[in-house]
Amino acid sequence: MAEIDATGRSTREVNAAIRKSIAEGCTAITVLNPEARHNLAVAILNGVHVRIAGSAGYYCGGLGDGASIEVDGSAGWGLAESMLSGTVVVRGNAGSGAAAALRSGTVVVYGDAAARLGVSMKGGEVIVAGSCGYMAGFMAQKGTLIVCGDAGEAFADSMYATVCYVGGQIASLGTDAVLSSMESGEIEGLEATLSAHLPADLRRAKPAAADFKKVVAGRKLWNFDKREWRIWQEAL
């Protein structure tokens, strides 16, 4: 267990101190007084646990591969962007572009996520206990996107094979996004995922798994023929 006080240190020095602690065999690191600075705990390539004791700025946990990162406060733009594997948990709210281009691993937000959540995600799980802004899941390719609260406009626009679940209202579905019904065993799977990643009291306050809406790609854009003008008219 190592404690790194960010006060008076540059972010480069804080991240270097995290790496040094890992090299020394430390498996749990706490960063004190982060004060919402950017690029904290980026590109950590092993299974260490990093707790940010406060808020984080942009790109926290981005490009990581295997670390487990916990943010006590809120996170700024690009949380866990392009993460390859690992877990990022934010107790507060997340800024725009959280879990963008996520490759694998799990991103959990106890509060709300802003715009462009999980755009172009290529795998992994994104779980937001609150609501999310517009265009979540845009061009998402694989993985699972779960929003327990309300979803903003153009939800799940132009997706490939990501599966989305929304517990609240969807302001509007994006191009080629369609509602679908859950297959057998899927409700239990969703419940297991939510229970595994959300604290029990937070989980209880959210809709039952059976009440979630499932959204998938309508697959109309998968084999898009540019001469089909009706699709163009719908899409633009």
Partner 1 sequence: MCGIVGYFDKTGADHQPLGKVLLRMLHALACRGPDSAGVALFRFPQPHQLVARVKVGDHRGSASRILDVKAMGEKFGGREFTQQGDYLRFTLNDDGDLRSFVSSVESVAADVEVVSVGRRLEIVKQVGSPSRLEQSFGISGYQGGHGIGHTRLSTESVVDLSHSQPFWGHGYPDLAIVHNGHITNYHQLRRRYQQRGVRFYTENDSEVVAIFLADKLKRGITLRAALESMITELDGSFSCLVATDSALAFVKDSFSFKPLLYTETESFAAVATEEIAMRAAIPGDYVVREGRAKEVQIWQR
Binding residues for partner 1, rule: CB under 8 A, are 35-38, 54-55, 57-58, 73-74, 76-77, 92-93, 95-96, 111-112, 114-116, 133-134, 152-153
Cβ closest to partner 1, residue 38 vs residue 122: 38
Closest CA to 86 of 72, 100, 103: 103
Cβ closest to partner 1, residue 48 vs residue 151: 151
In angstroms, give the least distance from the CB of 139 to partner 1. 16
In angstroms, give the least distance from the CB of 223 to partner 1. 29
Give the CA radius of gyration of the chain.
18
**Beta strands across the sheet bearing 2-5:** 2-5, 28-32, 49-53, 65-71, 85-90, 106-109, 122-128, 142-147, 163-166, 213-217, 177-180
Q: Tokens in use for 81?
A: 């962007």
In angstroms, give the least distance from the CB of 129 to partner 1. 14
Cβ closest to partner 1, residue 150 vs residue 191: 150
Phi, psi of 73 (to 5 degrees): -100, -140
Cβ closest to partner 1, residue 21 vs residue 96: 96
In angstroms, give the least distance from the CB of 37 to partner 1. 6
